[in-house]
Amino acid sequence: MHAGSSSLLVTVSKVLDPLTDTGSALLPGHRAAGVQVTVRVVAGETYDSTASGDWSLLTTAGLASPLFARQGVCETPLADFESLIGVGESRDGCVAFSVPRRARILSVRFSPHSRAPGTVAWR
């Protein structure tokens, strides 16, 4: 996909639902979910963005909120894995979300540079 002056190969590896052992305080009636992804810059320029802005989960209750995961497989890193990915480089990461307990996940979305144009979705 095109993301400004970068061409990306974006892959969703796995949806983790429920996501356990995040060390995060959840709102009552919510559960944690995570999405394991890979972003590779195949051409153009360095891609520099934020995973919590680029990735979203659409549920039967609407968009899920990003979640700061203190630990576990989706632990939120100090340096965002989508920061400064050079051409030919690939980064793996996991993004955590807070999802209403009874909501079903409908799709995972990627919006480069946290913008709607150019969004791709996986069901």
Please provide the average confidence, as pLDDT, over all residues in the chain. 95
Residue 65 forms part of a structural domain? yes
Residue 121 forms part of a structural domain? no
Which pLDDT value is given to residue 119?
Answer: 86
Residue 19 forms part of a structural domain? yes
Which pLDDT value is given to residue 11?
Answer: 97
Q: Look up the CATH number of the domain holding residue 24.
A: 2.60.40.1240
Which residue ranges of the chain lie beneath pLDDT 50?
Answer: none
- β-partners of residue 15 are 35
Tell me how many domains the chain contains: 1
Sheet harboring 62-63: ordered strands across?
Answer: 62-63, 55-59, 105-110, 120-122
Q: What is the pLDDT of residues 81-115, one digit of tens each?
A: 999 999 999 999 999 999 999 999 999 999 999 98
Q: How far apart are CA 119 and CA 52, in angstroms?
A: 14
Residue 82 forms part of a structural domain? yes
Tokens 């810059």 belong to residue: 41
Residue 100 forms part of a structural domain? yes
Residue 11 forms part of a structural domain? yes
Tell me which residue range forms the domain holding 62: 2-115
Residue 47 forms part of a structural domain? yes
Tokens 């983790």 belong to residue: 16
Which pLDDT value is given to residue 69?
Answer: 97
> What's the one-letter identity of residue 57?
L
Q: How far apart are CA 2 and CA 23, in angstroms?
A: 35
Residue 122 forms part of a structural domain? no
| pTM (two decimals) | 0.93
CB of 108 within 8 A of CB of 15?
yes
